[in-house]
Amino acid sequence: MNAANWWQDDCRAADQQVRAAALARQAQLTKPAGALGLLEQVAVQLAALQGTPRPQLELPWIAVFAGDHGVVEEGVSAYPQAVTVQMLRNFVGGGAAISVLARQLGATLEVIDLGCALPLEPLPGVRHLQLGAGTANFARMPALRDEQLHAALAAGRDSVGRAYAAGAELFIGGEMGIGNTSAASAVACALLSCPAHELVGPGTGLDPQGVQHKAAVIERALLLHAEHFDDPWQVLRCLGGFELAALAGAYVACAQQGVPALVDGFICTVAALCAVRLNPACREWLLFAHRGAEPGHRRLLAALGGEPLLELGLRLGEGSGAALAVPLLRLACQLHNDMATFAEAAVAGRSA
Ligand SMILES: Cc1cc2ncn([C@H]3O[C@H](COP(=O)(O)O)[C@@H](O)[C@H]3O)c2cc1C
Ligand SMILES: O=C(O)c1cccnc1
């Protein structure tokens, strides 16, 4: 193994003894067996991942990765590229959806600028890594250079390192980058061997004609880069983005460092698919927050065997859907930890 390819290093294993204890506890709680559905499963999974029979979710860590996309010159987004840097200011100004959600949750919000196309002044509270002035247009050439992909993957890993050091019990990745539903769709088509029209959707709000044009641009790019599609690293290099790669690196690092990750929307789920292709053992550390409105999200979740907690018609990104699922996960933990057992409450168990 190439030592530089840190993403191939071993992942931590969930604690199977704790899982068995957590499952046994669920069976003793005063409710019909299985009656809390997916909430039981996520509490047990969090217990096994956190290595404790009493899972906790006091400090979620939210990292929003931002980067621009050269493919926007093909006219694939309903919004102008300037929105990426403008939203970076909004994240730290406190007015973005994820800023509001992070405040309400008492979560740490870290904002990482990986490389925007438009000029951006240094912003207090933003980590500026400047991997380039956005990616290249993947409809014409590879989106990233090798060193940019290495740096983006490492940026995700390093954010997880800070989350771990801060004692965060959950990692949420978010993204910002006009055009990134195109990059995400292209990556997903390459990894799933799927034609563009089956995965591409409106993103920020293209009309049906716009979606058709976006699919045609992606189809052209798929033909251009097809020789690389058996290697997830090459797929990210040819079709990905700085923030997609950082998210993929973060998800692998979560599994290596032992921090459960809660995956957000369509874009994050594509990054999760990349992570699982780069290092299949990381799958166990991924929880899925929601199924969003972008039509390809359903297929992505199915490919990953991910069972989302929420379905709210979200199509925002930024990590917002994952943040919205945190109260539910917290309640799942509290139910698991604080409900009485049949014996404690003197309630009769199942008769047959
Ligand atoms: C104001 C605004 C805030 C956002 N926050 C997240 N996105 C989301 O929309 C973008 C992807 O959609 P597309 O591929 O169609 O450009 C990403 O930046 C994503 O995070 C936003 C988009 C806008 C316009
Ligand atoms: O689900 C997402 O991640 C998404 C969908 C549309 C626009 N931005 C993000």
Residue at 145 is within a domain = yes
Residue at 285 is within a domain = yes
Contact between 300 and 269 under an 8 Å Cβ cutoff? The reply is yes
Binding site membership of 172 for ligand 1 (Cβ less than 6 Å): no
Nearest to 329 by CA among 61, 42, 52, 58: 42
CATH number of the domain residue 323 falls in: 3.40.50.10210
Residue at 39 is within a domain = no
Choice from 263, 268, 316, 320 to test ligand 2 binding pocket (greatest atom count within 8 A of CB): 316
Return d(Cα 179, Cα 204) in angstroms, integer.
Answer: 9
What is the reported pLDDT for 248? Answer: 99
Determine the distance separating the centroid of ligand 1 and the alpha carbon of 15, expressed in angstroms.
38
In which domain, by residue range, is 206 found? 60-329
Residue at 25 is within a domain = no
Q: Where are the beta strands (DSSP E) in 278-351?
A: 286-288
What is the reported pLDDT for 2? Answer: 43
CA distances (Å), 64 to each of 22, 60, 139, 229, 326, in order?
A: 32, 13, 26, 27, 16
Determine the distance separating the centroid of ligand 2 and the alpha carbon of 261, expressed in angstroms.
18
Contact between 235 and 228 under an 8 Å Cβ cutoff? The reply is yes
Return d(Cα 245, Cα 248) in angstroms, integer.
Answer: 5
Active site residue 318: yes
Residue at 243 is within a domain = yes
Determine the distance separating the centroid of ligand 1 and the alpha carbon of 124, expressed in angstroms.
22
Residue at 205 is within a domain = yes
Ligand found nearest the CA of 315: 2
For the chain, residues with pLDDT lower than 70 are: 1-3
Structure tokens at 65: 């990765």
Nearest to 201 by CA among 82, 135, 98, 291: 291
ipTM: 0.99
Contact between 46 and 57 under an 8 Å Cβ cutoff? The reply is yes
Q: Work out how many domains the chain is built from and give that number.
A: 1
Residue at 249 is within a domain = yes
Residue at 264 is within a domain = yes
